[in-house]
Amino acid sequence: AQSVAQPEDQVNVAEGNPLTVKCTYSVSGNPYLFWYVQYPNRGLQFLLKYITGDNLVKGSYGFEAEFNKSQTSFHLKKPSALVSDSALYFCAVRDLYGQNFVFGPGTRLSVLP
Amino acid sequence: GAVVSQHPSWVICKSGTSVKIECRSLDFQATTMFWYRQFPKQSLMLMATSNEGSKATYEQGVEKDKFLINHASLTLSTLTVTSAHPEDSSFYICSARGKISVKNTEAFFGQGTRLTVV
């Protein structure tokens, strides 16, 4: 069975500092990995995905994520955080032919001015 | 990216009434649509998966007679909460995906519907 863990409920970072939101996964076979962001009372917005190829994936709004197969991780990163990055972030996994996405519990990111 | 529109954004209804939520894919054909429920400060809980023209597949514990899902066309799916009760109050989110391919892997989400049953 597929599963996703986001070990931190909350991440606080000062504006301008680098941020990392952690994600580890478990899936049989090769994973398709995703990051989504959710603002209050809104649906999820796609940030980036890893399918194959380079382990470092660049996405929207300056975010990037690094796929690490040996550690089964897909941490989300940004070199310089903005206050507007404050939101709820979800990591998700899907296998190649799976219908469904499995979401992590979410990590609330607060960027302090 | 592709656009998924969900309507209404919020709705308040009286206990015992039914509420219909629409999910439309505006610029692509959604062969598969997903309905999620999200409780405050929690992750998304998949309720059901529907393929166009087929009956929805419900997750364990989700009452299919209470949460009616219709996916009659490649651009529209509806979720009807029947005989709503206050405990059905939640944030409901739909997502849609086109035909699976190597390039087409992510799902696109509607903006969500906040349902409050009073």
What is the DSSP secondary-structure string of A13-38? Answer: EETTS-EEE--EEE-SSSEEEEEEEE
Q: Is the pLDDT of residue B25 over 80?
A: yes
- Tokens 């309720």 map to which residue? B47
First to last CA, chain A: 41
Q: Is the pLDDT of residue B102 over 60?
A: no
Give A-chain residues touching B10 at CB under 8 angstroms: 41
pLDDT at B59: 92
Q: Is the pLDDT of residue B66 over 90?
A: yes
Structure tokens of A104? 């992590």
Least Cα separation, residue B92 to chain A (angstroms): 9
pLDDT at A95: 67
* A65-69, B20-24, B26-30: segment of lowest average pLDDT: B26-30
Strand bridging mode B19-25 / B76-81: antiparallel
In this structure, what DSSP letter does residue A55 have? S
Amino acid letter, residue A105 = P
pLDDT at A107: 95
| Cβ-defined contact of A32 to B105 (cutoff 8 Å) | yes
- B105, B108, B111, B116: best to mutate for the A interface, most A CBs within 10 A: B105
Least Cα separation, residue A91 to chain B (angstroms): 10
Q: What is the mean pLDDT of residues B79-83?
A: 97
* 3-state percent helix, strand, coil for chain B, nearest multiple of 5: 5, 50, 45
Least Cα separation, residue A41 to chain B (angstroms): 7
pLDDT at A113: 93
pLDDT at A1: 75
Residues 6+ apart with CB under 8 A from B44: A44, A90, A103, B36, B37, B38, B93
pLDDT at A47: 94
pLDDT at B103: 55
| Cβ-defined contact of A106 to B4 (cutoff 8 Å) | no
Give the pLDDT confidence of A62-93 residue by residue, as tens digits: 999 999 999 999 999 999 999 999 999 999 99
Q: What size, in residues, is chain A?
A: 113
Q: Is the pLDDT of residue B24 over 60?
A: yes
pLDDT at B3: 85
Regions in chain A scoring below 50 on pLDDT = none
